[in-house]
Every structure is written in C-alpha cells, then in structure tokens.
Structure 1
Amino acid sequence: MTTRTETHFTPVEQDLYAKAFQLLDPTPEPVALAAPAVSSPVSVILAAGPVHRPGPVEETLSDALAFLDTRGWAKHRLIHPEGARCSIGALRAAAGARNAAYRDAGRLLLDEARRQHGQHWEAIPAWNDSHTGPQVRSVWEAAIQRAHHQNI
C-alpha cells in the first residue's frame, strides 16, 4: 500500500504576525529599540540561572529531616509509640522503600556521622542512640548539604 504525503505548504505572508498584533491592539505604545531601561521578564529569568532540582538522595534526606522535625526524634527504638522515630526510622519513612535513594542516603548520613563523630560508628542506629538531638541534627543538615553539592 502506498501512502502519498503532500509536502507543499501554503506560503505565509511575512507580516502576518505584525498585522495580527495590530488588530489586537490598534494603538500600541511605542517601544524603544535602543537599550531598554527595564529588563524584560525573559532576560530576568535567564539571568537568574537554572533552578536547583534536588536529586533522590537529597530529597530523601530532606524529607526524613522534615519527618523528624514534625513527628519527633527518638533514641533506642525505631518508632516511638507517639510517632517519633530514630534516624533510620525517619529515613525509612521518607524513602518509602529500601530503594537506591534509601541506601545512598543512609551511606551519606553514616559517612557524615563518621566525619563529625569518629570513624568507629558501624551503623546509623548505634550512632543515633549515642548522641544528642543537636548533634544528630547537625549530621543530617551536613549530609543534605553534601547531597545538594554533589547533585545526588
């Protein structure tokens, strides 16, 4: 079966857009073509640079810290009866599953805990249970910053 396609286009009048805008606004305000005094919205957007979009690790860490901020932080148990969680419990809640983002966020958090509190920590729960709330929060914030700078 042969299908024919026509590639002939109807020529468009060059001033079509100018005429259309003139019909929409018959008395436009004159626009100076020299250097504008005010930046156009497009130039402002372009000058602002790209918007940061957090990667899955940064997002998981940020969501877990937000979970700790809203539900509370706990020691010596994964989930407190009132809803507070330890660091690993918050990480699990934020990730939703033990996926790649969960594992990478956990590695980064433990790495930052070791950087701040010594290399002897083998697991997040032991480190979490041995430190104060401000010390734990400091590690979370630093891990989020590292994930942000690494764009992960």
Structure 2
Amino acid sequence: MNTRTESNFTPIDPALYAKAFQLLDPAPEPNTPAAPAAAAPTFILPAPPARQTGPVEKTLADALAFLDTHGWVKGKLISAEGARCSIGALRAAAGARNGAYCDAGNLLLDEARQQHGKQWESIPSWNDSHTGVQVRSVWEAAIRRAHHMNI
C-alpha cells in the first residue's frame, strides 16, 4: 500500500482568512446599541376547571342553610314561626320532589342510620327523636358525603 504524505496545498494567508470571517460576521459598531435579548417564552397553564356542586350536595346545603336561617323544629313540618323539620327544609330547598330531592333524602336517611342506628324508617321519625345538635351532625355528614361522591 502506497500512501502519499506530501500535500500539494497552497499555503494560506491567516490575515486573509481573518478578514473574510470579519466580513461574513461583522462586529456591531461601537455606537450602535445592542438589540435587546428576546424574552424567554412564558407559558401560562390554564386553571383547572372549577368543580361544580352536584344537585344532591346543593339541595342538602340549601336545606341546612334554610334550617340555619328559619330554625329547626321537631314534631311538625312547619312551626308557626316558620321553623321546619328536616323533611320540611329538604322540601323547601328542592322546590319540587325531583331526583335531587329523592337522592338527598335517601342520603340523609342513610347517614342518620349510620350515626343513630338502623331502626329509622323515615326522616321525620329520626328528626323527631333527636336533638338539634345530633340532627345538624347528620346534615353536615350527608353534605360531605355528597361532595365526595360528586353528586
């Protein structure tokens, strides 16, 4: 194998190359302000969608707010002063005996049974057998359950 080691290159002038590169990429003039650096792109992430209150949770929360505003009573649906029992507040909050009303009532009664025993067959019988503090505890727990169930 014969490998030639001699080159027939023409010698270069380093000053000539420096001048050529300067012409291709000139330095900014001393009195010319430098261009402002481009700002880094800003990414704005969209906010997560707001959680909507489900119809059962809303019905329960509105009914408890009704009890807080107008008062709670046992032994009757509505007192002369406008206070209501649990089923009366539920009816006032729902506005009609719709799906949210039925589901809220079932959830409230289920929570009452969990806290006070399985013997309760209806909201009025449970309501009339407990104190206001006990009744409120059941309402609050039912609202939390509806929230966690997203209903």
Residue of structure 2 equivalent to 1:77: 76
What is the 5 A alignment of 1:49-128? 49-128=48-127
Q: CA separation in 2, counterparts of 1:70 and 1:31?
A: 59
Letter matched to residue 60 of structure 1: T
Query: Could you tell me the percent identity over the aligned residues?
Result: 70
Deviation at 1:31, TM superposition (A): 6.6
Letter matched to residue 32 of structure 1: A
Could you say which structure has the larger radius of gyration?
A: 2
Q: Give the unaligned 5+ runs of structure 1.
A: 1-28
Q: CA separation in 1, counterparts of 2:103 and 2:54?
A: 11
Runs of 4+ in structure 1 over 6 Å off: none
Deviation at 1:50, TM superposition (A): 2.8
Q: CA separation in 2, counterparts of 1:70 and 1:125?
A: 20
What per-residue deviation string (whole Å, max 9, x for no partner) do you get for residues 113-133 of structure 1? 000000000000010011111
Paired residue secondary structure (1:82): coil
Q: Does 1:32 align with 2:31?
A: no
Q: CA separation in 2, counterparts of 1:76 and 1:109?
A: 18
Letter matched to residue 139 of structure 1: V
Number of equivalenced pairs: 116
What per-residue deviation string (whole Å, max 9, x for no partner) do you get for residues 27-84 of structure 1? xx987216x6xxx7x43x53xx331211110010000000000000001000011010
Q: CA separation in 2, counterparts of 1:30 and 1:84?
A: 69
TM-score, normalization by structure 2: 0.72
What per-residue deviation string (whole Å, max 9, x for no partner) do you get for residues 127-146 of structure 1? 00111111100100000011
Q: CA separation in 2, counterparts of 1:53 and 1:81?
A: 36
Q: Give the unaligned 5+ runs of structure 2.
A: 1-35
- Structure 1 residues 135, 32: closer, same or farther in 2, change over 3 A? same
Q: CA separation in 1, counterparts of 2:63 and 2:38?
A: 52
TM-score, normalization by structure 1: 0.71
- Structure 1 residues 50, 116: closer, same or farther in 2, change over 3 A? same
- Structure 1 residues 121, 30: closer, same or farther in 2, change over 3 A? farther
Letter matched to residue 71 of structure 2: G
